[in-house]
Amino acid sequence: MRQAGIIAAAGVVALTEMVDRLADDHANACHFADGLAEIPGIVVAPETVETNIIFFGVQDGEGRIDVAANAALTQAAAQAGALFSGGDDGRIRAITHYGIEQADVDRALAVVRRVVV
């Protein structure tokens, strides 16, 4: 690997400067999951959030995840500035990370409320 130092530098920064951020990212993820749980029609299990990753979805009339509605929510949210991706099981995946603050999480929740309701 010719550029191993560049790759190693990212690892060094992660281990020396970003470890304390993990608690912030987890708190933001929990805040997002708790906020999602308050939105009618959203399926999320806040108690399962253990990292900075949240899985959620739009509920259909029978209480199952509506994959088509998830795709529509993801697209509408992206147009409003909140980026989510699809999980492997049809749910939507949101991730908090460096650069995402609680105010950003609140804006993302507002976007989801606006799109779903």
Higher-confidence position of 75 and 17: 75
Where do the DSSP E strands lie in 7-63? 42-44, 53-58
pTM: predicted TM-score of the whole model, two decimal places? 0.85
CA–chain centroid gap for 37, Å, is 13
pLDDT in tens, 62-91: 878 888 899 999 999 999 999 999 877 889
